[in-house]
Amino acid sequence: MTAHVAGHRTKVGVVAGGLGTYWPQFPDLLPQLQQCARRVVERLTALNCDVVDAGFISDAQEGSRAAEQLRVADLDLIVMYIPTYLTSSMMLPIAQRTGVPVLVLNLQPSEAMDHRTFDTGKWLAYCGSCSVPEMSNAFLRCGIDFRSVSGYLEEERSWAKVGQWVKAAGVKAGLRGARHGLMGHLYPGMLDVSTDLTLITAQFGGHMEVVEFDDLRVRVAAVTDAEVAARVDLAKETFDLDDTVQLPDLEWGAKVSVGLDRLVEDFQLDSLAYYHRGLDGEQHERLGAGMILGASLLTGRGIPTVGEYELRTSVAMLMMDRLGGGGSFTELQALNFFDDVVEMGHDGPAHLAISAARPLLRGLGVYHGKRGWGVSVEFDVKHGPVTTFGIAQQRDGAFRLVASEGQVVPGPLLQIGNTTSRVDFGCHPGEWVDRWSDTGISHHWALGVGHRASEVKAVADLLGLEFVQVQP
C-alpha cells in the first residue's frame, strides 16, 4: 500500500540569469555562466526531485517568459540562480506570478577570485552577491518572503542548505495533499490535545477525514483466518515476542491490524489519530485495545497512527517521517538526575523503522490509563542524534513548530511495554523540561532520528509559521 503523501515527488523550478548588457562587452562571460547554471541543474536533480529548467534570462522580457513557463509547471519551489549581477526587475515577476516559494541561490564559481590575473569580465562571474540585497529589498516591498543561500558552486555546506529547502518544500507540498484521519473521540480531560480541525487545513492544507470505530469494526469482521495467520507471521518476523504474549491476544491484534490496513487504504489516509474509552469489554473497547500492533506497523511504513486522539502529533510525525527522521509518538516519562537524561517515550504505537534493536512485543493485562488488554510495543530509539518536534497551538489559534536537538544514550530502561529512550540535551534535565514546556507544546510530540531543527525551521518558514528551538 502506498500512502498519498509518501508518493509525492518534489517539483523544483530553476531559472538563472545575468544582466544582458554584459554579453557584448565580455564575450566569454555568458558561456561560463551558462555552464555554471547547467551544474546547478545537475546538483538539484541529484537531490531526488523533479527539475523544470526555465533556462538563462538576460532581461526583463525573458524573465516574463520564464515566469509563464514556471507558472504553469505546478511547482513546489523555485530556485533563482544568480551567478552575476542582474536587476531585481528580471526576477521579481517570476515570484509574483507563480506564487511559489522562492530560494535565491548565490554560488560563485570557486572559493575566491585570482586577483592577480582577473580582469573585469572574470570578476563579473563572481559578483552575484551584489544582487542578493537588491532582491531582498524588492521582495520585502512587494510582500514576498525572501530566503537565500550564498556560497560557491561546489561547496557542500551550501548544497546541504539547498537540500533542506528542497526537502521542506516537499513536506509542505505533501501536507497540502494529505488526508488526516480521526477515529473515536478525545481522551477525556486532555485540554492540550484538543484541536480545531479547520485549523489543520487552514495552516497546513490537506483534508480531515472523520471515521468511526464502526468503520474499523466492519473491516475487522471481514478478515479471514488465513489473513490473521499471515499477519501473525509478519509480527513474528518483525518483533521478538516476550513470554507474556498470549496467542489469542496476538491473533486479535493481527486481525485488527489487517482491518486497520483496509481502513487506511479505503479512506486513503496518510495519518490517523484514534481513541475510544470503552466499557466492560464491549466490541469497540476490544478494537481500541487491539490497535497497537497494526498502528506500529503502519507508522513504520510512514503512515503515523497514534493514540489518545493526538491529531497535531500525528501531523508532526508525518512531517518528521517525510524529513527522513522517522518520528515516534512520545511524551515525558521521568527525569534521571544522576545521568542528566530525560526519559521519554509512550505506550502503544511506535515508529519501528527507528528502533535501536529488534522491537519487542510484550503482553499487558492492563493498559495504564486505558481500558482493555493485549500486546504492546517496547523499544528504544536508535542511539545518537535525535530531534524532538511538536506542534503547539497558541491562544489565537496559530500553530508554532517547536524542536529541540539531543542525543539518545544507552542506559537502563523500563520493561513495561512502552517505548522509552534516554535523551541527553546537554543540560540539567529539569532545565530542559521547563524550557520545552514554556513553548506551549502539548504533552505529546514526535521523536525522530538525526539533528533536524534546521529542516523543521525551513518547513516553518515555507508554511509561514513561527519556529521555536529549545536548546538550553
| Last-in-domain residue among 150, 175, 200 | 175
Q: Give the pLDDT confidence score for residue 414 in this predicted structure.
A: 87
Beta bridge partners of 447: 328, 388
Range(s) of the domain holding residue 463: 178-469
Q: What is the pTM of this model?
A: 0.94
| Last-in-domain residue among 175, 204, 225 | 175
- What is the spatial order of strands in the sheet that 102-108 belongs to? 50-57, 11-17, 77-81, 102-108, 148-152
Give, in order, the Cα–Cα distances in Å from 469 to each of 35, 334, 382, 461, 463: 39, 22, 22, 13, 16
Of the candidates 447, 250, 428, 259, which has an alpha carbon nearest to the alpha carbon of residue 344? Answer: 447
Q: Give the pLDDT confidence score for residue 307 in this predicted structure.
A: 93
Whether residue 190 sits in one domain with residue 73: no
Q: Give the pLDDT confidence score for residue 428 in this predicted structure.
A: 97
Whether residue 65 sits in one domain with residue 156: yes
Q: Give the pLDDT confidence score for residue 5 in this predicted structure.
A: 42
Whether residue 217 sits in one domain with residue 147: no
> Alpha helices of 14-77 — where are they, by DSSP H?
22-25, 29-45, 60-71
Q: Which helix (H) or strand (E) holds 257?
A: helix 247-266
Whether residue 171 sits in one domain with residue 182: no
Whether 4 is in a domain gets the answer no
Q: Give the pLDDT confidence score for residue 370 in this predicted structure.
A: 76
Beta bridge partners of 181: 209, 272
Q: Give the pLDDT confidence score for residue 203 in this predicted structure.
A: 97
> Residue 288 and residue 276: Cα distance in Å, rounded?
6
Whether 3 is in a domain gets the answer no
Provide φ and ψ at 35, rounded to 5°.
Answer: -65, -40
Whether residue 310 sits in one domain with residue 340: yes
Whether 5 is in a domain gets the answer no
Whether 119 is in a domain gets the answer yes
Contact (CB, 8 A) for 89 and 60: yes
Question: pLDDT 10s per residue in the chain (472 long)?
Answer: 333 345 579 999 999 999 999 999 999 999 999 999 999 999 999 999 999 999 999 999 999 999 999 999 999 999 999 999 999 999 999 999 999 999 999 999 999 999 999 999 999 999 999 999 999 999 999 999 999 999 999 999 999 999 999 999 999 999 999 999 999 999 999 999 999 999 999 999 999 999 999 999 999 999 999 999 999 999 999 999 999 999 999 999 999 999 999 999 999 999 999 999 988 888 999 999 999 999 999 999 999 999 999 999 999 999 999 999 999 999 999 999 999 999 999 987 889 999 999 999 999 877 777 777 789 999 999 999 999 999 999 999 999 999 999 999 999 998 888 899 999 999 999 999 999 999 999 999 999 999 999 999 999 999 999 999 999 7
Whether 393 is in a domain gets the answer yes
Whether residue 203 sits in one domain with residue 155: no
Cell (9 digits) for 62: 525573458
> Residue 311 and residue 210: Cα distance in Å, rounded?
11
Beta strands 399-408 and 466-469 are parallel
